[in-house]
């Protein structure tokens, strides 16, 4: 496995793969890797000749400086994990290598067709502009055949699909396929997240109520006369009743449009909860 820190080295490595007719899998990450990332990388290793993993805490997708500063970083540990799984290249650039000063300080413009107006996009203005900025740059540099993303960030995934569909019309990303990978949970049900590292032992216990409530809501949705609005409110009330948890939003939306829906058909519930100072997200599909 090789660790690359510059765009020119990366492009040279990609060129060598293309010349040798090797298929490329890409797993974009912000590091602080856990078993969820490992499952993405394992898939990328199995389904492609060569696997690239980017490890880059992308400053342009953080709208909160403190969150950016506190985001866990441990490239040494990440590299050991990636080597053990069989990744071939890690791309770990500095922000200055990735962006010009102008790019770093302006908002990347993109037509989201409204997908950024709800949930995370509403709460974190500009967040998805930064995500699309970095992901499109990684696609451009790595030219992958397949790129792997976790369903925990469901809205991010919907936006990346939209981005690829739009730009493939212009042939920008060739035949790139986006691979949706299911949420990986601890045995307790807690969705794996790099942010879990910031939870105390007690907070981690408290956070279990989030996934427990989401799973319970699958049953609530089956109760006679259950409506989306009632289930939505019941999830919010149940989580808020737990000391130490505060729901920012729980929206049940259509899985494709991300717009509010009054049917459980093709619906997904997406939640954001503050557990002490740590902002956690999770989701559940109703069918």
Q: State the CB neighbour count (10 A cutoff) for residue 234.
A: 17
CA 22 vs CA 47, 177, 235: distances in Å: 11, 16, 47
By CB under 6 A, tell whether 184 contacts ligand PAF.
no
The least distance separating ligand PAF from the CB of residue 265, rounded to whole angstroms, comes to 28
Instruction: Provide the edge-to-edge strand list for the sheet that holds 267-275.
Output: 245-254, 267-275, 278-285
Q: Determine the Cα–Cα distance for residues 156 and 150; give it in Å rounded to an integer.
A: 9
When the beta carbons of 75 and 236 are compared against ligand PAF, the nearer one is: 75
Whether 162 is catalytic is no
Take residue 163 and report the two structure tokens written for it.
Answer: 């981005």
Q: With helix as H, strand as E and coil as C, how does 86-103 read?
A: CCCEEECCCHHHHCCHHH
SS3 48: coil
DSSP state of 198: G
The least distance separating ligand PAF from the CB of residue 283, rounded to whole angstroms, comes to 14
By CB under 6 A, tell whether 270 contacts ligand PAF.
no
Catalytic residue among 37, 161, 162, 266: 37
When the beta carbons of 68 and 218 are compared against ligand PAF, the nearer one is: 68
Number of residues lying near ligand PAF (CB under 6 A): 10
When the beta carbons of 58 and 213 are compared against ligand PAF, the nearer one is: 58
CB under 8 Å to 165, separation ≥6 — which residues?
A: none
By CB under 6 A, tell whether 29 contacts ligand PAF.
yes
The least distance separating ligand PAF from the CB of residue 204, rounded to whole angstroms, comes to 20
Measured at the alpha carbon of residue 236, what is the angle toward residues 162 and 274, in degrees to the nearest 5?
A: 75
String marking each residue 52-91 x if it binds ligand PAF according to CB under 6 A = ------x--x------------------------------
Handedness of CA 257, 263, 267, 269 (dihedral sign): positive
By CB under 6 A, tell whether 30 contacts ligand PAF.
yes
The DSSP string of 137-196 is HHHHHH--SEEEEETTSHHHHHHHHHHHHHHHTTTTTTT-EEEEEPPPB-TTSPBP-GGG
The least distance separating ligand PAF from the CB of residue 156, rounded to whole angstroms, comes to 6
For residues 100-159, which are near ligand PAF according to CB under 6 A? Answer: 131, 134-135, 153, 156
Binding range to ligand PAF, per CB under 6 A, among 27-35, 73-81, 185-193, 266-274: 27-35
For residues 195-254, which are near ligand PAF according to CB under 6 A? Answer: none
Binding site for ligand PAF (CB under 6 A): 28-30, 58, 61, 131, 134-135, 153, 156
Q: Which residues are catalytic?
A: 37
């Amino acid at each position: 496995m090789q660790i690359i820190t510059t765009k020119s080295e990366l492009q040279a490595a990609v060129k060598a793969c293309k010349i040798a007719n090797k298929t490329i899998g890409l797993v974009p990450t912000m590091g602080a890797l856990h078993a969820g990332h490992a499952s993405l990388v394992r898939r990328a290793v199995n389904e492609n000749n060569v696997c690239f993993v980017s490890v880059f805490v992308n400053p342009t997708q953080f709208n909160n400086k403190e969150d950016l500063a506190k985001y866990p970083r441990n490239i040494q540990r990440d590299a050991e994990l990636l080597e053990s799984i069989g990744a071939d290249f890690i791309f770990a650039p500095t922000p200055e290598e990735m962006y010009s000063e102008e790019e770093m300080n302006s908002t990347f413009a993109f037509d989201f067709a409204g997908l950024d107006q709800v949930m995370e996009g509403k709460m974190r203005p500009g967040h998805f502009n930064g995500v699309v900025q970095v992901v499109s740059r990684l696609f451009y540099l790595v030219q992958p055949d397949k790129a792997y993303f976790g369903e925990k960030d469901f809205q991010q995934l919907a936006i990346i699909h939209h981005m690829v569909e739009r730009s493939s019309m212009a042939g920008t990303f060739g035949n790139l396929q986006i691979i949706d990978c299911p949420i990986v949970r601890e045995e307790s049900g807690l969705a794996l997240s790099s942010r879990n590292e910031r939870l105390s032992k007690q907070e981690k216990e408290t956070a279990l109520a989030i996934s427990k409530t989401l799973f319970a809501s699958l049953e609530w949705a089956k109760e006679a006369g259950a409506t989306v609005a009632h289930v939505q409110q019941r999830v919010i009330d149940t989580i808020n009743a737990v000391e130490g948890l505060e729901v920012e939003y729980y929206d049940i939306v259509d899985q494709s449009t991300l717009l509010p829906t009054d049917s459980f058909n093709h619906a997904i519930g997406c939640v954001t909860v503050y557990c002490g100072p740590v902002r956690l997200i999770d989701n559940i599909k109703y069918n």
